[in-house]
Chains A and B, each alone.
Chain A
Amino acid sequence: MSELKVTGVVQSRREFLRNFLRGVLLVGLAGMGARVMLGRRCQSAGDFDRQKLCKGCPDVAFCPSAVLSVGRKVWQLDPSKCTQCGRCATHCVLQSSAVKCVHRPAQCGYCRLCFGFFQPGATTLNSAAENQICPTGAIRRKFIEEPYYEYTIDESLCIGCGRCVKGCSAFGNGSLVLQVRHDRCVNCNECSIARDCPSDAFRQIPATTPYRLKAGTESSAS
């Protein structure tokens, strides 16, 4: 009888300890959740502002446009830091990298001799294999009017090696840039290209402005 009583006491003591610890942990987790929800100012206000979505709310928690988008980030690379090392083509978890070359027509000089298209020292300016810099022939060259040619990227062929980008930034306007294409990117928790990017060009940026395509402004936004 007394033994039973002792067991009962031990049981209830154990039960109390368990309840107490559970309570502490719950409070901790709830506090963490609350801090995530409430504790931060809207850091992407700028982005929302540009999209005319920001209503000037003081806090993320009350932001109607940003209930889930605030803090939601995607990987992107900063072209101003990129050194076209070629790892984007090989280090992505996807078989064909999510990084592709993007052509910005507004920056393009529509050159007849495009350094992003032709091998250095190419003698004849046609799209024969020996003249092209692109290893997969993903750049299309189209005559528009004398002396201008239009260049477009076939993303299904582009492997993101950045050779054209290197040529264009070195000798041309720099209208070609590498970008993470978000229709392909699976947005890994830790981007495996970012991990090995020698120039530290990859950043997680707000999903509301997922590209770095404007000239000159890339470095300021990070």
Chain B
Amino acid sequence: MSLESKSSQSLYRMACAVAVVSCVFSLLVGMLLVSNSMAVRMASPLELPELEHLREILKASPVDQAVTDKIRDLDQVVRHLYFTGLASRKMGIILLLTGMVVSLLSLQAVAWLRRRQPEPRGYPPGPDPLQAESVARWVLAGLGGVILAIAVWFGQVDRDLRAGSVSDKPLSSSDAAGTSASTVNTSGDSVRETAITWPSFRGTSGNGVAASTNFPVAWDGATGSGVLWKVEVPLSGMSLPVVWGNKVYLTGASAETRVVYCYDLATGTRLWQVEAKGIANSSKKVPEIFQDTGYAAPTSVTDDRLVCSIFANGDVVAIDPCAKTLWTLDLGLPFNRYGHSSSLARFQDKVLIQYDQDAEKGIPSRLLALDAMTGKTAWSTPRKVSDSWSSPVVAETEKGAQLITMANDAIIAYDPASGRELWAVKCSGSDVGPSPIFAGGLVLASITGDRIYAIRPDGSGDVTATHVAWTSEDGVTDVSSPVSNGELVFFAHSGGLITCLEVKTGKKVWDHNLDGEFYGSPGLAGDKLYLVARNGTVFILKAGRQFEEISKATLGEPSDSSPVFVGDRILIRGLKTLYCIGNKAN
């Protein structure tokens, strides 16, 4: 200690005192500054709920003098607080700095007065160099290991997350209940690409099967019970809604106007509508259509980047989620006796269109693929078939993706990447309405006026003789497409007859006559079959080996729609209205 002399001792004491006082002072000022910064933030004139509220009131009653006075007072107070707060902060910072400099100087003095002479004899002996060296190595190795482990773990977690989201499987049933909670990483760092989707005519699966199971079985559209929201769609159409995330798209058209609508899945508010007009070369002629088909029968396709829609006059339009038209195209007025009703299909970055026309009049049919982002034709394949109502479906078979199409006289599969024909089965139907499905390893096609064909998709060329697993005359439908859980397949005839066949063998399991006409295709969610009858009654049956009616719900208006399942909600399009049915609690 160099504190021998009296003077240096008193100096030391003084320095200590100054240091303590100035430290306490700085601390106090620092705390005041922090609280001041909070206060300034609170008094920020930018977001003041009271003021906003008062302004709202004033808007409602513009001559209310009391409210006006209140606003003026509040405005005055807040601005005063804000600007004096800013000024006092500046003052506070200067005070703090002064305090800190003083405390620093006094502490330096304390440290200087307390300094000791080095006492080398008192130092403990240094560690053994060899041992120190080995410790250093282990420390470095340990630290490196920890960093490596963390990095590997991060990389792995991220990979798992992405692997979970890339797989096409949408939400599992357990996820669906808490969609918003479970699918969004709250940190926002790795947002999982969620799949609350129904991207095309028959959903993610292409079969009309829901990804989750907990859907309501009772509602009443007339009274509104069980209906989360309903919204009148200005222009009618037979097309189904397609869904990506929170956006529901559907089309409506009259003879002159063609519109794509976008609704908010949560609330049903219309986010935007875009009219497809001003399309180059678009025919002014109105196509001749069948009354039941309407001008907006084909269902659109969507993904995160766009919604692509086609209308009865051959106009195709692609719009991004922000209502910006990406491209438009006119395929030429279709000569389809029924009116063009074939929905769009989607494969990778292509939109696939089955553009069948009246072959008897010598107008060729074709199948074409457009680049989804540009609308440029990726490939186009002529089809030697005539027009029908049927839509193409992409099936993920073991031998790769196949685009399955149906027509009156053939079921043809194509390679969706190139348009090359893969296989064909000859048939002899008429006025074919249904679309094919792929279930239990078989392509199931209900050819109106002929039979149901079950085809193994691994052949090539004409496979009529070789790859037809079974055919069935029971259950053939005229309008609606089948739905299957892989084991059983269900058909709904417009006359009300529901038929259940075994997928493997084609044997009839049961049939039953329901009191309704069915144009919309049945939908399957878990073990429940949803059938929308034309009068708006929705039959909910058990999808089992015995007929069993679970319940009956009503829409309250006629509908030719199929149910669209997203998350835990069902969307059904009535004649004029779009209904969103779901459990209110969620």
**Using a CB–CB distance below 8 Å, which chain A residues touch chain B?**
86, 89-90, 95-96, 119, 121, 123, 128-130, 135-137, 157, 159, 161
Most chain B C-beta atoms within 10 Å of own C-beta, residue among A86, A90, A95, A161: A95
**B62 x A123 contact (CB < 8 A):** yes
**B86 x A136 contact (CB < 8 A):** no
Determine whether B89 belongs to the interface, using a CB cutoff of 8 Å to chain A. Answer: yes
**Which residues from chain B contact A86 at a C-beta distance below 8 Å?**
46
What is the CB-to-nearest-CB distance from A141 to chain B, in angstroms, rounded to a whole number? Answer: 16
**B46 x A130 contact (CB < 8 A):** no
**B71 x A130 contact (CB < 8 A):** yes
**B45 x A135 contact (CB < 8 A):** yes
Q: A95-B86, A119-B55, A123-B62 are in contact. Are A128 and B46 (CB under 8 A)?
A: no
Q: Scan B64-89; emit 1 where CB is below 8 A from any A CB, else 0.
A: 00011001100110010011001001
**Bound complex: CA of A119 vs CA of B75, how far in Å?**
14
Closest to B54 in A: A130
**Which residues from chain B contact A130 at a C-beta distance below 8 Å?**
55, 58, 67-68, 71-72, 75
**Which residues from chain B contact A90 at a C-beta distance below 8 Å?**
46
**B86 x A96 contact (CB < 8 A):** yes
**Which residues from chain B contact A128 at a C-beta distance below 8 Å?**
68, 72
Within 8 A of A (CB), among B304-328: none
**A161 x B46 contact (CB < 8 A):** yes
Closest to B76 in A: A129
What is the CB-to-nearest-CB distance from A135 to chain B, in angstroms, rounded to a whole number? Answer: 4
**B72 x A129 contact (CB < 8 A):** yes
What is the CB-to-nearest-CB distance from B68 to chain A, in angstroms, rounded to a whole number? Answer: 5
**Which residues from chain B contact A137 at a C-beta distance below 8 Å?**
75, 79
Determine whether B121 belongs to the interface, using a CB cutoff of 8 Å to chain A. Answer: no
**A129 x B71 contact (CB < 8 A):** yes
List 8 interface pairs A-B (beta carbons < 8 Å), by A numbering.
A86-B46, A90-B46, A121-B59, A130-B75, A135-B46, A136-B79, A159-B46, A161-B46
**Bound complex: CA of A182 vs CA of B173, how far in Å?**
57
Chain B residues bordering chain A, tally (CB within 8 A): 19
**A95 x B72 contact (CB < 8 A):** no
**Which residues from chain B contact A89 at a C-beta distance below 8 Å?**
46
Closest to B58 in A: A130
**Bound complex: CA of A161 vs CA of B48, how far in Å?**
14
**Which residues from chain B contact A161 at a C-beta distance below 8 Å?**
46
**B76 x A95 contact (CB < 8 A):** no
Pick from B45, B55, B67, B90: contact of A136, CB below 8 A.
B45
Chain A contact residues, majority secondary structure: loop
**Which residues from chain A contact B72 at a C-beta distance below 8 Å?**
128-130
Closest to B62 in A: A123
What is the CB-to-nearest-CB distance from B261 to chain A, in angstroms, rounded to a whole number? Answer: 26
**Bound complex: CA of A159 vs CA of B58, how far in Å?**
25
A-B interface, 5 closest residue pairs, ranked by CB to CB distance from nearest: A135-B45, A129-B75, A130-B71, A129-B72, A123-B62
**Bound complex: CA of A90 vs CA of B45, how far in Å?**
12
Q: A95-B89, A119-B55, A129-B75 are in contact. Are A136 and B82 (CB under 8 A)?
A: yes
Closest to B41 in A: A90
**Which residues from chain A contact B58 at a C-beta distance below 8 Å?**
130
Closest to A96 in B: B86
**Which residues from chain B contact A119 at a C-beta distance below 8 Å?**
55
**Which residues from chain B contact A135 at a C-beta distance below 8 Å?**
45-46, 79
**Bound complex: CA of A90 vs CA of B47, how far in Å?**
11
**Bound complex: CA of A202 vs CA of B30, how far in Å?**
34
**Which residues from chain A contact B59 at a C-beta distance below 8 Å?**
121
**Which residues from chain A contact B90 at a C-beta distance below 8 Å?**
95
Q: Scan B28-56; emit 1 where CB is below 8 A from any A CB, else 0.
A: 00000000000000000110000000010
**Which residues from chain A contact B55 at a C-beta distance below 8 Å?**
119, 130
**Bound complex: CA of A88 vs CA of B67, how far in Å?**
31
What is the CB-to-nearest-CB distance from B363 to chain A, in angstroms, rounded to a whole number? Answer: 48
Most chain A C-beta atoms within 10 Å of own C-beta, residue among B46, B79, B82: B46
What is the CB-to-nearest-CB distance from A154 to chain B, in angstroms, rounded to a whole number? Answer: 12
**Bound complex: CA of A136 vs CA of B45, how far in Å?**
7
**Bound complex: CA of A89 vs CA of B41, how far in Å?**
12
Q: Scan B479-517; emit 1 where CB is below 8 A from any A CB, else 0.
A: 000000000000000000000000000000000000000
**Bound complex: CA of A203 vs CA of B86, how far in Å?**
29
**Bound complex: CA of A144 vs CA of B90, how far in Å?**
38
- Identify 17 new A-B residue pairs, CB closer than 8 A, beyond the known A89-B46, A135-B46: A86-B46, A95-B89, A95-B90, A96-B86, A123-B63, A128-B68, A129-B75, A129-B76, A130-B58, A130-B67, A130-B68, A130-B75, A136-B45, A136-B79, A137-B75, A159-B45, A159-B46
What is the CB-to-nearest-CB distance from A168 to chain B, in angstroms, rounded to a whole number? Answer: 18
What is the CB-to-nearest-CB distance from A127 to chain B, in angstroms, rounded to a whole number? Answer: 11
**Which residues from chain B contact A129 at a C-beta distance below 8 Å?**
71-72, 75-76
**Which residues from chain B contact A95 at a C-beta distance below 8 Å?**
86, 89-90
Closest to A121 in B: B59
What is the CB-to-nearest-CB distance from A99 to chain B, in angstroms, rounded to a whole number? Answer: 14
Closest to B73 in A: A129
Closest to B89 in A: A95
Within 8 A of A (CB), among B240-262: none
Most chain A C-beta atoms within 10 Å of own C-beta, residue among B45, B76, B86: B45
Closest to A129 in B: B75
Closest to B74 in A: A129
Closest to B70 in A: A130
**Bound complex: CA of A128 vs CA of B69, how far in Å?**
10
What is the CB-to-nearest-CB distance from B84 to chain A, in angstroms, rounded to a whole number? Answer: 13
**Which residues from chain A contact B83 at a C-beta distance below 8 Å?**
136, 157
**Bound complex: CA of A121 vs CA of B56, how far in Å?**
10
